[in-house]
Amino acid sequence: MSLARPSWLSHPLLVLIGVLLIAGSLRAPITGIAPLLELIQADLSLSSTQAGLLTAMPLFIFAVVSLLAASIARKVGLSRSLFIASVLIAIGVVVRVLGGTTELFAGIGLLAIGIALGNVLLPSLVKRHFPLRIGFMTSLYVLFMGLVAAFNSAMAVPMAEWTGQSWRWSSLIVVGVMALASVAVWATQLGADRRAAQRAPAAAASSVSVWRLPLAWHITLYMGLNSVAYYMIASWLPVMLVNYGFEADHAGQIHGLMQLATAIPALLLMPVLSRLHDQRAVALAGALLQTLTFVGFLVLPSWSLLWAVLFGIGSGSVFLIALALIGVRSTSTSQAASLSGMAQCMGYLLAAFGPPAMGGLHDLFDSWGWALGLCILVSFAMSYAGWLAARPALTGKA
């Protein structure tokens, strides 16, 4: 039976635009909360505990939904699942600014579900549509994700000031436009799953769960421990810097530069990542760079600007390499989705406990020494997992 000629709806450029738009919606709606937190607390009379839940709650939702995302994609379809993710993000962005505390948390809950679906399924989609450019495409969408998040965070307070100290309009301007554009593009891709199934040869279903594959666990630990380190530093860096004698606004600027630096590895690795058959050197370098920064914060805190930027580069490179490994080491788009769900589920579960552990060590010893020591241990474990994860082997044969 002859297949219909592909239309403009299946053009790779349109798919690329869809990938970038949903990638731009996966980080900014959550990281953009931090600069507006004081305005949100004042407007809604939130307690410190409630304010803390604004960042903690999404991590637990990410973990649960990440575990279910691959199954949802198998039943609904990969492109349809990303359309659903875009719709949930768009609705969540609007709902969280409509009323009081209930609407705020409901909107963030919807956002978190959509973001988790997108995070898990994008590597699988890249493998399906760009199987020969996995490293390049992953670098490109991670770069876009970081740039949008950095721009949104940097402009959050100025946009609130322009709109009369309204955190609501500030929360809508960038992420709202991005989310609506993502919905519009993915609405054109609802038939892509059928077209992909028609063109692809039938693949034998793997009888081995990714949860039973050693290499899958290595990738999971590599990505998960990076999430632990990132959220520990992202949560406590401003407080730590103020304790070291930095002014609060300077500490906030350093924190913003750290987030911006996470996008740098995508620029540096984009030309070479797809050509590397053995990624062990770059996988190890990103983790060891983080070790260096933790030692730097401990012994030379006056250079914290440098350590923060280097940490962002190290964390961003590990995140990028882990995503690329999911696509390169998996044997099918279905396995890529399952592996991505496994890695992100465990990663977010671990990450949720990282900031409380770091804060608890600081309170117990009244210094940042033991807390940074925990970060160093995490980075050493990440290095070992990365070395094993980046071996040139397929997941299904591990």
- The whole-number average pLDDT for the span 333-343 is 83
- The whole-number average pLDDT for the span 81-86 is 94
Shared domain check, 214 and 332 = yes
In a domain, 27, yes or no: yes
Shared domain check, 235 and 159 = no
In a domain, 203, yes or no: no
Q: Which of 198, 231, 256 lies at the terminal end of a domain, its last residue?
A: 198
Q: Which of 198, 228, 261 lies at the terminal end of a domain, its last residue?
A: 198
- Asked whether the beta carbons of 130 and 354 are under 8 A apart, the reply is no
pLDDT confidence of residue 14: 87
Shared domain check, 135 and 74 = yes
Structure tokens at 148: 């949008």
CATH of the domain at 215: 1.20.1250.20
pLDDT confidence of residue 398: 45
- Asked whether the beta carbons of 126 and 4 are under 8 A apart, the reply is no
Which residues have a Cβ under 8 Å from the Cβ of 373 and sit 6 or more positions away?
Answer: 298, 361
* pLDDT tens column, 252-289: 778 778 888 988 888 887 666 666 677 788 889 999 99
Shared domain check, 390 and 282 = yes
Q: Which of 145, 177, 198 lies at the terminal end of a domain, its last residue?
A: 198
CA dist., res. 98 & res. 110, Å (int): 14
Shared domain check, 222 and 260 = yes
- Residue 393's pLDDT band, with cuts at 50, 70 and 90, is low
- The whole-number average pLDDT for the span 120-127 is 87
Lowest mean pLDDT among 151-155, 165-169, 385-389, 394-398: 394-398
CA dist., res. 182 & res. 180, Å (int): 5
- The whole-number average pLDDT for the span 176-199 is 80
Give the residue numbers spanning the domain of 30. Answer: 11-198
Reduce the secondary structure of the chain to three states and give it as a string: CCCCCCCHHHCHHHHHHHHHHHHHCCCHHHHCCHHHHHHHHHHHCCCHHHHHHHHHHHHHHHHHHHHHHHHHHHHHCHHHHHHHHHHHHHHHHHHCCCCCHHHHHHHHHHHHHHHHHHHHHHHHHHHHHCCCCHHHHHHHHHHHHHHHHHHHHHHHHHHHHHCCCCHHHHHHHHHHHHHHHHHHHHHCCCCHHHHHHHHCCCCCCCCCCHHHCHHHHHHHHHHHHHHHHHHHHHHHHHHHHHHCCCCHHHHHHHHHHHHHHCCHHHHHHCCCHHHCCCCHHHHHHHHHHHHHHHHHHHHCHHHHHHHHHHHHHHHHHHHHHHHHHHHHHCCCHHHHHHHHHHHHHHHHHHHHHHHHHHHHHHHHHCCCHHHHHHHHHHHHHHHHHHHHHCCCCCHHHC
Q: How many residues belong to the chain? A: 398
In a domain, 6, yes or no: no
Shared domain check, 184 and 222 = no
pLDDT confidence of residue 185: 92
Residue 163, classified by CB atoms within 10 Å of its CB into exposed (0-12), middle (13-18) or buried (19+), is middle
- Residue 226's pLDDT band, with cuts at 50, 70 and 90, is very high
Shared domain check, 179 and 92 = yes
* pLDDT tens column, 164-186: 768 888 778 888 899 999 999 99
Shared domain check, 136 and 21 = yes
pLDDT confidence of residue 394: 52
Smallest CA-to-CA distance from 31 within 118, 185, 155 is with 155
Percent of the residues in the chain that have a pLDDT greater than 90, as a whole number: 28
Shared domain check, 218 and 113 = no
CA dist., res. 175 & res. 23, Å (int): 11
Shared domain check, 214 and 155 = no
Reduce the secondary structure of 187-227 to three states and give it as a string: HCCCCHHHHHHHHCCCCCCCCCCHHHCHHHHHHHHHHHHHH
In a domain, 64, yes or no: yes
User: How many structural domains is the chain composed of?
Assistant: 2
Long-range contacts: 195-199, Cβ < 8 Å, 24+?
Answer: 195/6, 195/10, 196/78, 196/128, 198/3, 199/3
In a domain, 23, yes or no: yes
Shared domain check, 193 and 127 = yes
Residue 331, classified by CB atoms within 10 Å of its CB into exposed (0-12), middle (13-18) or buried (19+), is middle
In a domain, 268, yes or no: yes
Shared domain check, 147 and 25 = yes
Choose between 203 and 225: higher pLDDT.
Answer: 225
Lowest mean pLDDT among 237-246, 364-373, 375-384: 237-246
Lowest mean pLDDT among 68-82, 101-115, 316-330: 316-330
- Residue 204's pLDDT band, with cuts at 50, 70 and 90, is very low
CA dist., res. 281 & res. 269, Å (int): 12
In a domain, 20, yes or no: yes
- The whole-number average pLDDT for the span 208-234 is 88
In a domain, 313, yes or no: yes
